[in-house]
Amino acid sequence: MTSRATFLVVANSWDAVSRSFVERHRDGGVQLLTPRDLSRVGWSCSFGTMGVRSRAVVAGRLLEDREIHGVLTRLPGVSEQELLHIAAGDRTYVVAEMNAFLLAWLTTLPCPVLNRPTPRCLSGRWWRQEEWVRVAGHLGIPILPVHRRIRLTQGRRPRAVSQPGGSTVTLIGRRHLGDADPLLIVQARHLAQAAGTDFLAVRFTGPSPGSAFVDATPWPDIADDVIGEAVMDYLVTARTDGQESQEAA
């Protein structure tokens, strides 16, 4: 058994923000897990009468599920570009298998997981802006119309026209960051509850009551030191709280 807690950040290999976060918190037991790690021997996830048991291999180290104390997921899904070490003819199959395995593994881990996967995305509720706006409107939150613009000669997916500025409320578990009226914080929490997430950045047109919802992302800026520290606090505290609850039971 390991002598200290291990926390994982699941991300693609070119996610510079995740790599920076891991380097800043490496002394706290944080490790980076990329799709390439799944090609290493030792992974398992078994379902039986005694529950779900799993093992992971991270940086060449074998970890039982009980040794992983928290996970932050920033990987929407495995792509073929991540698996250039796999024979070209096999990559499509391997991508599908890795996505299915990660969905099962991340869903069943007993530790706190920020951005638990959904069937459509390995890093939580990956809604397009129109869906966030629709849900916000149904919750009674003032909203702005969404406009998309495309040039017919470009052949690209239309992009939402972004609204500059505004005020952002970042939710990490029961904690919130950002200067905003308490009403906006409550509205942001209602939106996070509707999305089934503990980790969400919600942007409004301003910090005052009545400000309209602009957009939301399940990928708050962990490059920000304050948000990064709050993420670590959540993972450590949620793990401790869970252990105390089990002991009390």
Residue 69 is part of which domain span? Answer: 6-123
In this structure, the answer to whether residues 10 and 63 fall within a common structural domain is: yes
Q: Are residues 119 and 186 in the same domain?
A: no
Angle at 120 between CA 114 and CA 122, to 5 degrees: 35
Residues 10 and 117 in one domain: yes
Q: Are 43 and 90 contained in the same domain?
A: yes
φ, ψ (nearest 5 deg) of residue 215: -165, 175
pLDDT given for residue 166 in this prediction: 86
Asked whether 190 and 141 are in contact (CB, 8 A), the reply is: yes
Which segments of 59-198 are extended strands (E)? 61-64, 68-73, 113-114, 148-149, 159-160, 167-172, 175-177
Whether residues 37 and 106 fall in one domain = yes
The pLDDT value recorded for residue 46 is 85
Ordered mean pLDDT values, 10 residues apiece, the chain (249 residues): 75 94 94 93 80 85 91 94 92 94 92 91 90 96 82 51 76 94 96 95 94 94 94 85 43
The predicted structure's pLDDT at residue 12: 92
Residue at 231 is within a domain: no
The first and second tokens of residue 43, run together, are 């992974």
**Same domain, yes or no: 86 and 180:** no
Burial group, residue 51, by CB count within 10 angstroms (0-12, 13-18, 19+): exposed
Distance of CA 82 to the CA centre of its chain: 19
| pLDDT computed for residue 247 by the predictor | 37
**Residue 31 sits in the same domain as residue 96:** yes
Give the global pTM.
0.84
Residue 249 belongs to some domain of the structure: no
Residue 107 lies inside a defined structural domain of this protein: yes
pLDDT tens string 130-170: 999 999 999 999 998 887 776 665 544 444 445 566 899 99
What is the pLDDT at residue 246?
Answer: 40
Among residues 89, 123, 157, which one ends one of the domains?
123
User: What is the distance between the alpha carbons of residues 62 and 43, in angstroms, rounded to a whole number?
Assistant: 8
Contact between 5 and 30 under an 8 Å Cβ cutoff? The reply is no
Residues 24 and 79 in one domain: yes
Query: How far does CA 142 lie from the centroid of its chain?
Result: 26
- State the residue for tokens 């972004």: 162
Cβ atoms of 46 and 30 closer than 8 Å: no
| CATH code of the domain containing 187 | 3.30.470
Inside any domain, residue 163: yes
Report the distance separating Cα 197 and Cα 117, nearest Å: 10
Supply the pLDDT for residue 241: 57
Cα–Cα distance for residue pair 73/153, rounded to 1 Å:
36
* 98 and 49 part of one domain: yes
| pLDDT, the chain, mean | 87
- Total structural domains within the chain: 2
Residue appearing with tokens 């849900």:
135
